[in-house]
Amino acid sequence: MIALLQGTIAVDGRDHVILLCGGVGYKVYGPPTVTGAVGEHLILHTSMVVREDPMTLYGFVTPAERDLFETLLTVSGVGPKVALSILSTLSGDALRNAIVADRPEILSRVPGIGKKTAQKILFGTQRQAGSRAGFRADHAVQRHQQRRHRHAGRVGLQHRRGPNRRSSPAA
């Protein structure tokens, strides 16, 4: 697996760069942050995606951005193009905040993502929270989920006991 490339930009395309590293040109797709002038030095943290036909290299300016990309790929139905579209539309912080706040409408702003897909992405990434570096620093996700579960438990308990009943019988 290719994890990092360091070299000179040979071509700066619309959605990719060709990075010349030791005489070999690597075509690396990435979000708009992966850009530069021809001849400029660039370091990219990469994620290599192997499908049935092509092997495609995706590059990111920071390891955290790459980790978010890889986390998105773990969600069923989200491929590299959708994950890249998300990271091209939303900043890493905006994506993390949407996940923490459980706000599918933020993800729905991304071209090609509807409400149902946004909810699926939120569910899938919330399950991954804490296990990937892209989310490791954001413990707010876990705290938010714990609060929701505690609240749901209290509501269920109150419903079972009835609104005017005490939690323990009087002695």
Asked whether residue 34 falls in the same domain as residue 78, the answer is no
pLDDT recorded at residue 146:
55
In-domain check, residue 22: yes
pLDDT recorded at residue 74:
92
CA distance 87 to 65: 8
Q: Which domain holds residue 17?
A: 1-61
CATH code for the domain of 117 = 1.10.150.20
Q: Which long-range CB contacts under 8 A does 117-123 form with residues at least 24 apart?
A: 117/77, 117/78, 117/82, 120/75, 120/76, 120/77, 120/78, 121/72, 121/75, 121/78, 121/86, 122/98
pLDDT recorded at residue 150:
55
Asked whether residue 109 falls in the same domain as residue 48, the answer is no
Domain count, the chain: 2
CATH code for the domain of 49 = 2.40.50.140
CA distance 44 to 59: 5
In-domain check, residue 41: yes
pLDDT recorded at residue 147:
56
Contact yes or no for 127/85 (Cβ under 8 A):
no
In-domain check, residue 39: yes
What does the pLDDT profile of the chain (171 residues) look like in tens digits? 899 999 999 999 988 999 999 999 999 999 988 888 999 999 999 999 988 878 899 999 999 999 999 999 999 889 999 999 999 999 989 999 998 889 999 999 999 899 999 999 999 888 776 544 445 444 444 455 555 555 555 545 454 555 555 555 554
**Burial label, 21 (beta-carbon count in 10 A; 0-12, 13-18, 19+):** middle
